[in-house]
Chains A and B, each alone.
Chain A
Amino acid sequence: NSKVIQTPRYLVKGQGQKAKMRCIPEKGHPVVFWYQQNKNNEFKFLINFQNQEVLQQIDMTEKRFSAECPSNSPCSLEIQSSEAGDSALYLCASSLSKGGEQYFGPGTRLTVL
């Protein structure tokens, strides 16, 4: 079973508010991924890190999201100004290597009113 921890499990925000979620990867996993799963079950890759460095991120993440994976602290993903379309399940995964198996946390379900 995965040991990736995500908090909070549920998050409710108003439009324009900041929304921040956290992820603790499995111990020893240097690679962290964030995905968004919308109500249509579509997954969208958002960003990934190796240790503290961003490997790749999509345009949306670069513009409206703030993400980091500091040393000895949880990783975080923050939406700077929430929009209704951001309502989704946000999944964090960690891996031993960039191309390796990804282990997922339970997700943070964000609802933007």
Chain B
Amino acid sequence: GDSVTQTEGPVTVSESESLIINCTYSATSIAYPNLFWYVRYPGEGLQLLLKVITAGQKGSSRGFEATYNKETTSFHLQKASVQESDSAVYYCALGLHVGDNSKLIWGLGTSLVVNP
């Protein structure tokens, strides 16, 4: 079936360290799904962080990057130097769109704690 697996949290890093949150997916109902990272900051709602709809392309936002890798079915989230304000829960999601069948398949989220 369609599923998303991501790094189990919490992930704790110190400010200015690099970060990688792994995301791998399985898409059986569609060959080229859209891929998304959403973020939920403390006390706020879900926000779209970045998206990539074409295999091989990279998306970036707020210093975060993720590359759509069709061969390894991965969409890892990376940042070279995290800040305390990046502390949040990050969700990887698979976008399925086949006719009227349109929905997001979600990972379980990765809680990121950035220490000052």
A and B held together in a complex:
yes
Interface residues of A (CB under 8 A from B): 1-2, 31, 33, 35, 40-43, 45, 48, 50, 55-56, 91, 98-99, 101-107
The answer to whether B13 has its CB under 8 Å from any CB of chain A is no
**Contact call A101/B48, Cβ cutoff below 8 A:** yes
Chain B residue nearest in CB terms to A99: B97
What 5 pairs between A and B have smallest CB-CB spacing?
Answer: A99-B97, A43-B106, A98-B102, A106-B45, A104-B46
Q: How far is the CB of A113 from chain B (nearest CB, A)?
A: 25
Rounded to whole angstroms, the CA-CA distance of A41 and B9 in the bound complex is 12
State the main secondary structure of chain B at its contact with A. strand
Interface residues of B (CB under 8 A from A): 34, 36, 38, 44-48, 51, 95, 97, 100-106, 108-109
B36 contacts across to A, CB distance below 8 A:
101
Chain A residue nearest in CB terms to B89: A41
**Contact call A102/B47, Cβ cutoff below 8 A:** no
**Contact call A55/B102, Cβ cutoff below 8 A:** yes
**Contact call A41/B103, Cβ cutoff below 8 A:** no
Rounded to whole angstroms, the CA-CA distance of A33 and B45 in the bound complex is 15
Rounded to whole angstroms, the CA-CA distance of A1 and B102 in the bound complex is 23
Give which listed residue, B47, B51, B101, contacts A1 with CB less than 8 A: B47
Rounded to whole angstroms, the CA-CA distance of A107 and B47 in the bound complex is 12
Rounded to whole angstroms, the CA-CA distance of A59 and B114 in the bound complex is 41
**Contact call B45/A105, Cβ cutoff below 8 A:** yes
User: Which of B47, B48, B103, B108 gathers the greatest number of chain A CB atoms within 10 Å?
Assistant: B103
Rounded to whole angstroms, the CA-CA distance of A104 and B104 in the bound complex is 12
Rounded to whole angstroms, the CA-CA distance of A31 and B33 in the bound complex is 18
